[in-house]
């Protein structure tokens, strides 16, 4: 049994327990209020609130897509509309009854999931941009509404469907039903978003590329989230239509989709509660104001949206929190215990070819950036890649780590040809890539960043946060040596440049890679930090038998730690040899006196 690595005094679990108790008490209070409110509100207010509750559920799904996953979606209204029409069409065609109700719910779920799956496939693929996903989400409701318009009596066209028999409940009970549905959705959403899985979604939002290079199939996560939120939105629409007894194309329209976004933006994105606050306040305010101020109301909403985005990006809830908590950062993960893994997950060969490149080429039209690059690197080697600016070093790293980058040639990582695979797949062959600029998850804490890095080995918990984080010894050692261990509850954006670099390295090492690609890891570091880095790298190569490929400008640094050096010049390998052979060669002198004289001077 490995010892728990107690880096800070054990935190009494009572705090966690009391927080849970407090949350449960709050939920009980809200549920009580929902049950009693109908006795105090008039019919008009009940009506407005029942509809607002269903709309708020849809707003929560927008918040999860946008606030947590970072996809600005105009399309949740389409799924809401699918639920509305699943009910209306079923009850219109087949009448109302128990089996019809089951059929309608099934239709709502299946149709929403299918449309969401298709939308997800169109929106999310390796290399798709958030902007593109946004635009596709805009097209979905527009196409759907067009279909509804063209649907004749089946969909009721622009007039919608009305006059079907639906669930016959008293207003009071509708209120309780809708209120409880909203509370349940909010509680489930909050629990999931605060769990380790929720952190992973935030990681997708913060830095999709980093996730990809941590072996996470980000597209698949995004599609799954879209399908799940689509189902929830569809059920909200189902409830909305069951209560209102009407289906109209505008329930599915892109205008409604935009309205949902505005609700989330005003309330405060990425909080779930903000979505509810936004939805309820806009729905209630519009019921009272839009009737008497039809034009001005839209104007107010537009101005409010611009103001919130410019001045209060975290919405009403954010403003409230700032006033209530005085901007004190909330720490997450300070209580997480880091623990070395019991055994290595994979059995590792101590030697063998780790990187193989044959006739590798990369062309932009007639311009050749890489041409005929060919080399092998073994386990335990620390291979440095040097060359002047524009020689193609970073391009080479990219071609080794992303199968879709190169124009020609063959690459194998740890014996696996990378074909045209995306980085997330190549990482699973044993590749780890650290970027030039520290690439971490800015809004996640150090501990959370590290846990995300373990996603492909340890599936994150869906409903809770694990108090323990097991990491490979190499990652633990970086965390401890750099001093990150003491700051593991702090958000990554607050770290110094050097610590961010160390964190990224630790994250990459958490993958247990066999091949490590590093792009100028020491740029901008202090002398001491650089030395620490050098020590870590040499021990990784010699001790852990990693194959390290390092892009570096600083010949001093290279000379001290490398076992071999490749010189890249104008897209071709100009030299490939031992440190002494390369550093003393004419060519390097020539290249570097022209362009990197400072390095060379300090080297001589």
Partner 1 sequence: MISRAFLTSLALIAATGSALAADPIRIGVPVGLSGANSVVAPSVVQSAELAVEEINAKGGVLGRPLALDVADDGSGAAGAQKAFDALVFQKKVNVLISMETSAARNAGLPIVARGKTPFIYTSFYEGKSCSPYLYVNAWVPEQQVPPIVDYFNKEKKAKSYFLIGSDYAFGRGMLAFTKSYIEKTGGKVVGEEYLPMDGSDWTPIISKLKASGADAIITSTAGGAPNVTLTKQLRAAGVSLPYGNLAVDEGTAKSMGTDAAGIYISASYVTGIDSTANKTFLAAMSKKFGADLKTPNDLSVPEYEAVYAYKAAVEKAGGTDPQKVLAALADVSVDGPRGSIRMDKQRHAPLTMYLGQVQADGSVKVIQSFPNVDPGAQCPPKS
Partner 2 sequence: MLTIALDAVTTAALLFIISSGLLIVFGVMKIINFAHAAFVTVGAYAALVGTRLGLPWALVLPLAFATGAACGALTEATIVRRLYQRPLDAILATWGLGTVIGQLVTLIFGREVQFVQAPITGTIDLFGLDYSAYRIAMIAAAVIVAVAFTGLLSGTRLGLSTRAVIMNEMLAQGLGVDSSRVRLVTFALGSGLAALAGALITPLSSVDPNMGLPWLISAFMLVMVSGGSLPTLAVSCIVLGGLQVIVSTFVNPILGGLTIAICAAIVLRIRPEGFARA
Tell me which residues touch partner 1 (CB under 8 A). Answer: 42-44, 47-48, 51, 146, 149-150, 152, 156-163, 244-246, 248-251, 256, 286-287, 290-298
* Residue among 295 and 364 whose Cβ is closer to partner 1: 295
Q: Is the dihedral of CA 497, 499, 503, 509 positive or negative?
A: positive
Nearer to partner 2, 40 or 310 (CB): 310
Minimum CB separation of residue 306 from partner 2 in Å reads 4
Give the residue, chosen from 23, 135, 162, 468, that forms a contact with partner 2 under the rule CB under 8 A: 135
Return d(Cα 401, Cα 399) in angstroms, integer: 6
**Judged by CB under 8 A, does residue 364 bind partner 2?**
yes
Long-range CB pairs of 322-327 (<8 Å, 24+ gap) are: none
Q: Does 302 bind partner 2 (CB under 8 A)?
A: yes
CB 62 within 8 A of CB 73: yes
Is 467 a binding residue for partner 2 by CB under 8 A? The answer is: no
User: Please, what is the minimum distance in Å from the beta carbon of residue 305 to partner 2?
Assistant: 4
Tokens of 219: 């597209």
- Calpha distance 181→271 (Å, rounded): 18
| H-type alpha helices, 124-170 | 130-150, 152-155
Of 5, 47, 166, 258, the residue at the interface with partner 2 (CB under 8 A) is 258
Q: Vertex 331, ends 330 and 336: CA angle to 5°?
A: 155
Is the CB of 127 or the CB of 329 nearer to partner 2? 127
Q: What angle do CA 306, 308, 314 make, to 5 degrees?
A: 140
In the chain, what's the furthest Cα-to-Cα distance?
A: 91
173 binds, among partner 1, partner 2, none (CB under 5 to 8 A by kind): none
**Near partner 2 by CB under 8 A: residue from 138, 183, 224, 579:** 138
Contact status: 143 vs partner 2 (CB under 8 A) = yes
**Binding at 250: pick from partner 1, partner 2, none (beta carbon under 5-8 Å per type):** partner 1
364 binds, among partner 2, partner 1, none (CB under 5 to 8 A by kind): partner 2
Residue 309 binding partner per list partner 2, partner 1, none, with a CB distance cut-off of 5 to 8 Å that depends on partner kind: partner 2
**Length of the chain measured in residues:** 604
How many positions of this chain bind partner 2 (CB under 8 A)? 39
Count of Cβ atoms closer than 10 Å to residue 119 Cβ: 23
From the list 39, 98, 99, 295, which residue makes contact with partner 2 (rule: CB under 8 A)?
295
Q: Which of 16, 313, 346, 483 binds partner 2 (CB under 8 A)?
A: 313
Least Å distance, CB 286 to partner 1, is: 7
* 303 contacts partner 2 (rule: CB under 8 A): yes
* 359 near partner 2, judged by CB under 8 A: no
Which of residues 250 and 556 has its CB atom nearest to partner 1 in the complex? Answer: 250
70 binds partner 2 (CB under 8 A): yes
Q: Which is nearer to partner 1, 244 or 267 (CB)?
A: 244
Sequence-ordered list of residues with C-beta below 8 angstroms from that of 278, at least 6 positions apart, any chain: 59, 262, 263, 264, 265, 266, 267, 268, 315, 316
Residue 296 or 462 with smaller CB distance to partner 1: 296
Residue 480 contact among partner 2, partner 1, none, beta carbon within 5 to 8 Å by kind: none
Alpha carbon distance 138, 133 (integer Å): 9
* Nearer to partner 1 among residue 160 and residue 198 (C-beta): 160
For residues 382 and 563, the answer to whether their CB atoms sit within 8 Å is yes
Q: Using CA atoms, how far apart are residues 30 and 37, in angstroms rounded to an integer?
A: 10
Phi, psi torsion values for 471, nearest 5 degrees: -130, 155
Among the candidate windows 297-305, 323-331, 418-426, 486-494, which touches partner 2 by CB under 8 A? 297-305
Instruction: Report the residue from 139, 224, 284, 579 that binds partner 2 according to the rule CB under 8 A.
Output: 139
Minimum CB distance to partner 2 smaller for 282 or for 505: 282
Could you tell me the smallest distance in angstroms from the CB atom of residue 163 to partner 1?
Answer: 7
184 binds partner 2 (CB under 8 A): no
Examine residue 128 and tell whether it contacts partner 2 (CB under 8 A).
yes
What three-state secondary structure class fits 52?
helix
Smallest gap, in angstroms, from Cβ of residue 312 to partner 2?
Answer: 12
Q: How far apart are CA 279 and CA 60, in angstroms?
A: 9
Q: Which residues contact 235 (CB under 8 A, 6 or more apart)?
A: 57, 83, 105, 108, 109
Spatial separation of the C-alpha atoms in residues 334 and 293, rounded to whole Å: 51
Q: Any residues with CB less than 8 A from the CB of 491 and at least 6 apart, and which?
A: 329, 442, 443, 444, 445
> How far is Cα 349 from Cα 368, in angstroms, rounded to an integer?
36
Residue among 397, 70, 65 nearest 208 (CA)? 70
Tell me the CA distances in angstroms from 69 to 84, 163, 202, 299, 323, one per residue in order.
26, 39, 6, 29, 27
* Partner in contact with 245, chosen from partner 1, partner 2, none, beta carbon below 5 to 8 Å by kind: partner 1
Q: Considering the complex, what minimum distance in angstroms separates the CB of residue 251 from partner 2?
A: 19
Nearer to partner 2 (CB atom), residue 301 or residue 385: 301
Considering only 41, 101, 110, 130, the residue that binds partner 2 (CB under 8 A) is 130
Residues that bind partner 2 (CB under 8 A): 66, 70, 72, 121-122, 125, 127-128, 130-132, 134-136, 138-139, 142-143, 146, 149-150, 258, 261-262, 265, 295-296, 298-299, 301-303, 305-306, 309-310, 313, 364-365
């Amino acid at each position: 049994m490995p010892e728990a690595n107690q880096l800070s005094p054990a935190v009494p679990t009572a705090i966690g327990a009391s927080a849970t108790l407090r949350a449960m008490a709050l939920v009980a209070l809200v549920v009580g209020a929902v049950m009693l409110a109908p006795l105090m509100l008039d019919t008009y207010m009940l009506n407005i609130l029942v509809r607002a509750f269903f709309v708020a559920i849809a707003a929560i799904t927008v918040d999860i897509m946008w606030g947590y996953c970072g996809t600005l979606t105009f399309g949740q209204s389409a799924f809401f509309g699918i639920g509305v029409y699943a009910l209306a069409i079923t009850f219109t065609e087949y009448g109302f009854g128990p089996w019809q109700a089951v059929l309608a719910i099934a239709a709502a779920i299946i149709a929403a999931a299918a449309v969401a799956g298709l939308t997800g496939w169109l929106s999310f693929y390796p290399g798709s941009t958030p902007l593109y996903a946004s635009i596709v989400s805009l097209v979905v409701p527009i196409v759907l509404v067009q279909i509804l318009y063209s649907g004749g009596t089946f969909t009721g066209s622009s007039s919608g469907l009305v006059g079907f028999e639906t669930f016959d409940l008293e207003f009071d009970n509708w209120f309780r039903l809708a209120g409880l549905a909203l509370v349940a959705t909010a509680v489930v959403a909050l629990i999931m978003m605060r769990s380790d899985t929720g952190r992973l979604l935030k990681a997708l939002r913060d830095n999709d590329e980093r996730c990809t290079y941590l072996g996470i199939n980000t597209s698949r996560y995004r599609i799954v989230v879209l399908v799940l939120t689509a189902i929830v939105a569809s059920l909200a629409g189902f409830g909305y239509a069951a209560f209102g007894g009407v289906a109209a194309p505008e329930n599915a329209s892109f205008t409604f989709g935009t309205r949902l976004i505005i609700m989330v933006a005003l309330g405060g994105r990425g909080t779930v509660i903000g979505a509810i606050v936004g939805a309820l306040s806009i729905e209630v305010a519009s019921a009272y104001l839009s009737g008497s101020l039809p034009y001005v109301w839209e104007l107010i909403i537009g101005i409010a949206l611009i103001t919130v985005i410019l001045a209060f990006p975290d919405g009403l809830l954010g403003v409230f929190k700032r006033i209530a908590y005085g901007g004190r950062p909330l720490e997450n993960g300070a209580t997480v215990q880091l623990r070395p893994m019991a055994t290595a997950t994979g059995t590792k060969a101590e030697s063998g070819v780790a990187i193989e490149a044959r006739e590798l080429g990369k062309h932009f039209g007639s311009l050749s950036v890489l041409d005929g690059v060919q080399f092998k690197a073994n386990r335990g080697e620390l291979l440095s890649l040097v060359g002047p600016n524009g020689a193609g070093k970073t391009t080479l790293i990219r071609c080794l780590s992303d199968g879709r980058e190169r124009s020609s040639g063959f690459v194998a990582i740890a014996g696996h040809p990378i074909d045209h695979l995306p980085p997330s797949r190549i990482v699973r062959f044993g590749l780890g890539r650290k970027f030039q600029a520290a690439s971490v998850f800015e809004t996640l804490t150090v501990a959370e960043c590290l846990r995300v890095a373990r996603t492909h080995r340890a599936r994150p918990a869906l409903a809770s946060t694990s108090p323990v984080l097991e990491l490979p010894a190499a990652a633990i050692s970086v965390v401890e040596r750099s001093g990150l261990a003491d700051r593991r509850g702090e958000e990554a954006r607050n770290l110094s440049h050097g610590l961010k670099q160390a964190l990224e390295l630790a994250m990459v090492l958490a993958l247990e890679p066999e091949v490590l690609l590093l792009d100028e890891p020491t740029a901008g570091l202090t002398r001491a930090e650089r030395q620490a880095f050098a020590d870590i790298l040499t021990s990784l190569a010699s001790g852990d038998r990693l194959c390290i490929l390092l892009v570096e400008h600083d010949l001093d640094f290279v000379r001290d730690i490398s076992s071999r050096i490749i010189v890249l010049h104008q897209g071709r390998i100009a030299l490939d040899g031992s440190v002494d052979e390369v550093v003393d060669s004419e060519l390097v002198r020539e290249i570097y006196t022209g362009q990197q004289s400072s390095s060379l001077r300090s080297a001589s």
